[in-house]
Each structure stands twice: as C-alpha cells, then as structure tokens.
Chain A
Amino acid sequence: ELKVEQNPLFLSMQEGKNYTIYCNYSTTSDRLYWYRQDPGKSLESLFVLLSNGAVKQEGRLMASLDTKARLSTLHITAAVHDLSATYFCAVDTDKLIFGTGTRLQVFP
C-alpha cells in the first residue's frame, strides 16, 4: 500500500527564519503536488512537480522533487505570518494520495 509521510507534522517558526518540510513516499511516481489549506477551507494548489529534478519557486516557497529518492521538499525562506496554514503533499498514481499534512504556525 502506498504511503506518503510528511515531517514534521507541526512546525512553529519565527518570522524571518527558514525551514524545510519533507515528503517521503513509498511507490514510483513522477508526479507530485503541494497544496495549502487554511482552516475550514478547501485546498489551494501551490506546485505541480512532473519530473525528476523538478524545482519550482513562488515567492517565499520553493518545492523540489527527487523521484529516485522518492522525496519532495517544500522550503520556506524568511517566513511571514501569512504563510501560517497546513501544507499537504500528494502523490499522483492517477489518484491523489495525500500526506499527513504539516501544520505551520509563524509567529513574530
């Protein structure tokens, strides 16, 4: 059974700091997505990673994919309060298998 694990599950970080969220998965896939979810809301698409070595950046967030290691990372640079949310990675095996989620809290 495919497993998608994220760590950490909870991240409390100070504004201005950097941190990385990790997403490990247990089966072969060359398609992985990152989503943001605010409390009580639906999923907002952040990144679509479609090949080994893919790297995408948007503002203070950068995502990468290593299909050989079955690992994706979401790097946060100089965090701001507006980034506080839950972040999910999802592996595409023609259906999306979501990770456990990382709840990010950014404080002053």
Chain B
Amino acid sequence: DAGVTQSPTHLIKTRGQQVTLRCSPKSGHDTVSWYQQALGQGPQFIFQYYEEEERQRGNFPDRFSGHQFPNYSSELNVNALLLGDSALYLCASSLVGQETLKNYGYTFGSGTRLTVV
C-alpha cells in the first residue's frame, strides 16, 4: 500500500527562481494539504486541495500557488523565491467524509527539503 510520495527529496534554488514540488496521495485519499516547516519550528499550513479546487488557505503570499489533478496528485509552486522560503515542505493526504465533509486519516509524505541560496 503506497503511502504519500513527494518529489524531489532535496532541491537547491537561487533567489528569484521558481520551484515546483510534487505530491502523490495515499491510495484512496482525495484531499492534499501542504505545509511548510522552517528549521526548529512546527509545520505551518499553506493550503488544501479537494476536487481540484483550493479549499482552504493559510497565511501565505500569492507567490505560493498549487494545483490538484484529476488523479488527486498535487503540485506546489513557489515563485520569486526568497531566502526565507528555505524549509521542509510536507504534503499530507486525507479523505473527506461524504456526510461530515471533514478530513480523516491524515498521512504525511517524507517531505521535500528546499534550500534557497
């Protein structure tokens, strides 16, 4: 049973560049959430995608954007990279309950370590 798969595992970019991170959810999950974890801090919610739409968004600038595909996989794009964007980016998949519309069963991927120089 494949869990959540993220790629790449590590990435080094230069300030001002753009980056795309990818996430394949756990089999049977339909929702993908992205989190940013800076060194020494807890993960911060970026946004969540369900039915190919952005369902919720955290307090991140528009430089952070995303997409969900029909197969439920997702991409996180960051434009005009800043040094402060250096972090571990975590993807979590879950399943939305049809009656409650709440998320169940969060599963995290192994993350993408982004370094901006």
Using a CB–CB cutoff of 8 Å, the interface residues on chain A facing chain B are 31, 33, 35, 40-43, 45, 88, 90, 92, 94-101
Q: Are A33 and B43 in contact (CB under 8 A)?
A: no
Q: Are A99 and B102 in contact (CB under 8 A)?
A: no
Q: Are B111 and A97 in contact (CB under 8 A)?
A: no
Q: How far is the CA of A95 from the CA of B88 in the complex (A)?
A: 18
Q: How large is the interface on B (under 10, 10 to 19, 20 to 34, 35 or more residues)?
A: 20 to 34
Q: Are A94 and B56 in contact (CB under 8 A)?
A: yes
Q: How far is the CA of A41 from the CA of B112 in the complex (A)?
A: 10
Known: A35-B108, A95-B103. 10 other contacts (CB 8 A): A41-B110, A42-B109, A45-B108, A88-B43, A92-B106, A94-B56, A95-B48, A96-B45, A97-B45, A98-B42
Say yes or no: is B72 at the interface (Cβ < 8 Å to chain A): no
